[in-house]
């Protein structure tokens, strides 16, 4: 039950004075003021211990992060993500929607002004004996301007605006997160495609080597030195490697199609010329763990949602207090059309009204519990996002450190395998080794070379993921301010 109590004032001056007193009371806002929730940050990244360290002048990623890989083709593709990627376009539209909602919330600061005209035919009741126009039929012409203003005494509007702006900032962070995710996915797919190009080049070179070995074996078979079984064995190895080279084409086509989608182009009209992966991962400055809280868009978005949930508590709490509305109306009214727009037909009214809900069956209490629970959930989500951020950085620092060592050892294995093939092939020509010995060493060489290419691809992938985990050079200071959100 909501009881509305009008306050009777003798003159417009009294009404204005009363409204001024109420506006002075509006300096307070109910509900808790926002304090950023704490989130534990370690002093250093554990996986940085004993490994690469960036120079102090390079303690953060800056600018278009993909340029550190020094690949012009990648640079050109990354530029198209911002323009044509549909996931980024959708996130940008969602941000504009949230910004418009924040701007709409500020309308609560101002009065609502309406104007209208009406003409109605009416008859008074014949039983109203005390009315001079009892039983009379007449036409009522009315032209009026009406004003209604709910005074924000308890800060409900201010908290609503605060929540709307925080939500819009969270949406802006989501946009940056979507952009970074698409950029990182493109870089991952691109380096995977280049690794497949390297695999294809390796297999094509190996096929040529195996074809020469097959010719050698056939010549030895024609001379009666080798058996037919040795020829068939060499043919089997050659055909098997040719099949592997063909199979790489399937994966490469799929990577190429995935890149087309990321840059907003149909797969049917997009292609990338083959070029084997040869670059090494760049040194990536990790900075300090405490900086991560400002560098990751998802962390910033989660923190802004905490602020919005905190403001929503104030909105809910304001429902416990009276609502004060200032209403006014002015216009012209007459039952005679010819006199409708004359000065004697003028009318006006002005005055405040106070209403308070006395009983709601526990609705406001339940809404308050809901708002507090939503705030607690947003705090937990924020802290979980922070923990996940630290985990992703540590994961990829560890991956780069371990893969770096693995690449060094694997490089030594490749050199040993290559030397083994040379020695065994020479022994085969001299007749001191069998063709099976050569096939085994050749198979070992190919396996080790393919493993080395795979490790390089994994290192490039881990580099991209580390950049993504570090926020890609973004900073929370780039979020739109309250002034930015107020602009149209």
Q: Which phi and psi (to 5°) does residue 54 adopt?
A: -75, 155
Residue 84's CB is within 10 A of a number of other CB atoms, namely: 13
pLDDT at 128 (0 to 100): 60
What's the average pLDDT block by block, 10 residues per block, for the chain (488 residues)?
44 48 56 89 79 52 89 94 92 94 91 91 71 72 90 91 94 95 96 96 95 93 91 94 95 96 94 92 86 92 96 93 91 84 86 90 93 96 95 94 95 96 92 90 95 96 95 91 80
CA-based Rg of the chain, rounded to a whole angstrom? Answer: 38
pLDDT at 390 (0 to 100): 94
Answer yes or no: are the C-beta atoms of 41 and 292 closer than 8 Å.
yes
pLDDT at 41 (0 to 100): 84
d(CA 102, CA 316): 18
Q: Which phi and psi (to 5°) does residue 182 adopt?
A: -70, -40
d(CA 274, CA 265): 19
d(CA 197, CA 312): 54
**What is the set of domains in the chain, with CATH numbers?**
33-110+152-321+363-486 (1.20.1600.10)
d(CA 206, CA 445): 10
Count CA atoms closer than 13 A to 477's CA, side-chain side: 2
């Amino acid at each position: 039950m909501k009881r509305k109590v009008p306050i009777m004032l003798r003159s417009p001056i009294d009404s204005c004075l009363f409204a001024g007193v109420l506006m002075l009371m509006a300096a307070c806002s109910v509900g808790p003021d926002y304090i950023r929730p704490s989130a534990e940050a370690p002093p250093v990244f554990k996986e940085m211990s004993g490994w690469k360290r960036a120079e102090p002048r390079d303690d953060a990623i800056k600018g278009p992060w993909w340029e550190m890989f020094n690949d012009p083709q990648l640079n050109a593709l990354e530029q198209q993500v911002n323009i044509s990627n549909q996931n980024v376009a959708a996130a940008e539209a969602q941000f504009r929607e949230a910004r418009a909602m924040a701007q709409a919330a500020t309308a609560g600061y101002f009065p609502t002004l309406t104007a209208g005209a009406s003409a109605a035919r009416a008859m008074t009741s014949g039983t109203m004996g005390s009315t001079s126009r009892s039983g009379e039929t007449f036409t009522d012409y009315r032209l009026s301007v009406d004003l209604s203003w709910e005074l924000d005494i308890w800060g409900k509007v201010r908290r609503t605006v605060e929540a709307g702006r925080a939500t819009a900032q969270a949406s802006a962070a989501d946009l940056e997160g979507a952009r970074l995710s698409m950029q990182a996915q493109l870089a991952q797919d691109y380096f995977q495609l280049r690794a497949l190009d390297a695999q294809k080049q390796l297999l094509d070179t190996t096929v040529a080597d195996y074809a020469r070995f097959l010719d050698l074996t056939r010549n030895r078979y024609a001379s009666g030195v080798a058996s037919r079984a040795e020829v068939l064995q060499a043919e089997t190895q050659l055909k098997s490697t040719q099949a592997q080279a063909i199979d790489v084409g399937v994966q490469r086509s799929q990577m190429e199609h995935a890149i087309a989608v990321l840059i907003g182009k149909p797969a049917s009209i997009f292609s990338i010329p083959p070029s084997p992966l040869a670059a090494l991962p760049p040194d990536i400055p990790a900075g300090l763990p405490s900086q991560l809280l400002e560098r990751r868009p998802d962390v910033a978005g989660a923190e802004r949602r905490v602020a919005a949930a905190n403001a929503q508590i104030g909105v809910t709490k304001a429902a416990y207090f009276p609502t004060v509305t200032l209403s006014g109306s002015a216009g012209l009214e007459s039952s005679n059309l010819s006199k409708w727009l004359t000065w004697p037909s003028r009318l006006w009214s002005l005055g405040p009204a106070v209403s308070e809900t006395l009983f709601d069956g526990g609705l406001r209490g339940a809404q308050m519990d809901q708002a507090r629970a939503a705030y607690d959930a947003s705090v937990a989500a924020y802290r979980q996002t922070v923990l996940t951020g630290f985990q992703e950085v540590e994961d990829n620092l560890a991956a780069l450190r371990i893969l770096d060592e693995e690449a060094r050892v694997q490089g030594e294995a490749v050199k040993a395998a290559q030397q083994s093939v040379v020695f065994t092939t020479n022994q085969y020509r001299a007749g001191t080794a069998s063709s099976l010995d050569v096939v085994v060493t050749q198979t070992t060489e190919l396996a080790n070379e393919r493993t080395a290419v795979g490790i390089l691809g994994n290192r490039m992938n881990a580099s991209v993921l580390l950049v993504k985990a570090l926020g890609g050079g973004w900073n929370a200071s780039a979020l739109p301010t309250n002034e930015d959100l107020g602009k149209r």
